[in-house]
Amino acid sequence: MTDKAFRFGVVSAPQEGGARWLATARRAEELGYSTLLCPDNLNLPTPTAALAAAAAATTELRVGSFVLASPLRTARAAAWEAHSLTTVTDGRFELGLGTGLPTMRQQAEELGLPYGSGQDRLDSISETIDHVRRLDGDAHTPVMVAAGGPKARRLAGKKADIVALAGGALTTREELAGHAREIREAAGDRDVELSLNIWVVGEQVPPWIRGFIGVDAETLIEHDSLAIVRGGVDAMAEELERRREELGVSYFSVNGAFIEEFAPLVERLTGK
């Protein structure tokens, strides 16, 4: 499905102070992860500051937003932050963009910004990409778009460098394969990297993750969910190879709670 080599990111947030965050960044680099990805939420430190600090504490680790929510910034402000990070990290920043969760309506109001319709939020993503391309000049900030719906998939295929398949925890393989086809069709001759986030490694779902995705391990396993990988290293490696073959996904991110458990896969598959 794709000849792109595997690479891996870890999704984490600086919730326990700066020292712990920088230790996470250094550990991610030590374990061979390509990217440290930071979520966007008013209840967390801004990704701009967190990712700049992580990049400064490492030498090769890429950093990225996962993902900047369009309701929380104007398109021009998001592009300003993105280009600034590309500049101060010497090109190690990846801009992730998304339309935001419904729960961010109140957060947008706190900032004095409209939450907007779905189309408004997609338009903001498109405008952000345009602004970034203008600001970058000879540089190039890789842009990831989290694409959950058909309009987002079409936009991502046309404009993004990386597209995160953003289905729910119980979205089937067949459905995600269809989503991937839509993205590739929209991309045409453009070379787009497909990404998928893994919430759980093993057969235990931490309570806070269960609260976020809304299902337990038994349900994930019963539905052959792509939000989980389990078994020994051989079995998990075979599963990721299957996902690359069937879906075209070569870039996998994993929840930071499983940074160590996932590391053997990073060591085995990176660059292959």
For the chain of 272 residues, list the mean pLDDT of each consecutive stretch of 10. Answer: 93 90 98 98 94 98 98 98 98 98 94 97 98 96 97 98 95 97 97 97 93 92 96 98 98 97 98 96
| 48: CATH | 3.20.20.30
Percent of the chain with pLDDT over 90: 95
117 vs 99: CA distance, rounded Å: 10
Q: Tell whether 97 is covered by a domain.
A: yes
pLDDT of residue 119: 97
DSSP string, 137-167: TT----EEEEE-SHHHHHHHHHH-SEEEE--
- Count: domains in the chain: 1
Domain range for 233 is 7-269
Torsion from C-alpha of 157, 163, 164, 170, nearest 10 degrees: 30
Any domain includes 157: yes
Model confidence over 13-59: pLDDT tens digits?
Answer: 998 889 999 999 999 999 999 999 999 999 999 999 999 999 999 99
- Is residue 2 domain-resident? no
Q: What is the number of residues in the chain?
A: 272
In a domain, residue 1? The reply is: no
CB of 107 closer than 8 Å to CB of 71: yes
pLDDT value, residue 236: 98
Compute, in degrees rounded to 10, the torsion defined by CA atoms 200, 201, 202, 203.
0
